[in-house]
C-alpha cells in the first residue's frame, strides 16, 4: 500500500528529500503561494507548527504557481518571503505543479486519495490542505478558505 512516506520532493534549498523522514508523524501538506488572498494563512500554519513542535506532527509547504501566477519567484525568494514576512520555520519545498500533466507525484497521489468538490481530483486554488495520519494515509482534504486553526482538533485526534 502506498503512503505519503513513499514520496520525495525537492526541498526549498534544492536538496532532494524523502518524506520517509517524517514516518510516524501526522502531516499537513499545503500548496502555497506568496501573492494570494490566502497568503496570510502562512501565519496560522506556522502557529500549528510551533504549537505541535513536540508532537508527532509537521506542516509541509509546497509553493505552486498554477493559480493566477501567484507564486512567481524563485526558491530563494519564496524562502526569504516566508521567513521574513511570516516567520515560517516549517519545511518548505521547491515549486511544484499540483494539477495537470506535470502534477507532482505526491499531489497525484494525494488527490487520488481525497477528491475535492463534486469528486474532482483537481486542486481548485492555493492553500488546499491534505492531512495524513501517522501511518501515512490521507484522512482529510480541506478547501483553501479553511483556516489552519480550524484543522487543529483534527490534528489533535491524530497525535
Q: Any residues with CB less than 8 A from the CB of 28 and at least 6 apart, and which?
A: 45, 48, 57, 58, 59, 60, 129, 130, 131, 148, 151, 155
Please, are residues 129 and 61 in contact by the beta-carbon 8 Å criterion?
no
Enzyme catalytic residues? 36
93-116 b/e (C-beta count within 10 Å ≥ 16 → b): bbbbbbbeeebbebbebbbebbee
Amino acid at each position: 500500500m502506498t503512503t505519503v512516506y513513499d514520496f520525495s520532493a525537492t526541498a526549498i534549498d534544492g536538496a532532494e528529500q524523502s518524506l520517509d523522514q517524517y514516518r510516524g508523524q501526522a502531516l499537513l501538506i499545503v500548496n502555497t503561494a506568496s501573492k494570494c488572498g490566502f497568503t496570510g494563512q502562512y501565519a496560522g500554519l506556522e502557529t500549528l507548527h510551533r504549537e505541535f513542535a513536540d508532537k508527532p506532527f509537521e506542516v509541509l509547504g509546497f509553493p505552486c504557481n498554477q493559480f493566477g501566477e501567484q507564486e512567481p519567484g524563485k526558491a530563494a525568494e519564496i524562502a526569504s518571503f516566508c521567513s521574513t514576512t511570516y516567520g515560517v520555520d516549517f519545511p518548505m519545498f521547491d515549486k511544484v505543479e499540483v494539477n495537470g500533466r506535470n502534477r507532482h507525484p505526491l499531489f497525484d497521489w494525494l488527490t487520488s486519495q481525497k477528491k475535492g468538490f463534486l469528486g474532482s481530483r483537481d486542486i481548485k486554488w492555493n492553500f488546499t490542505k491534505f492531512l495524513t495520519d501517522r501511518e501515512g494515509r490521507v484522512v482529510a482534504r480541506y478547501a483553501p478558505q479553511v483556516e489552519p486553526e480550524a484543522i487543529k482538533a483534527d490534528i489533535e485526534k491524530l497525535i
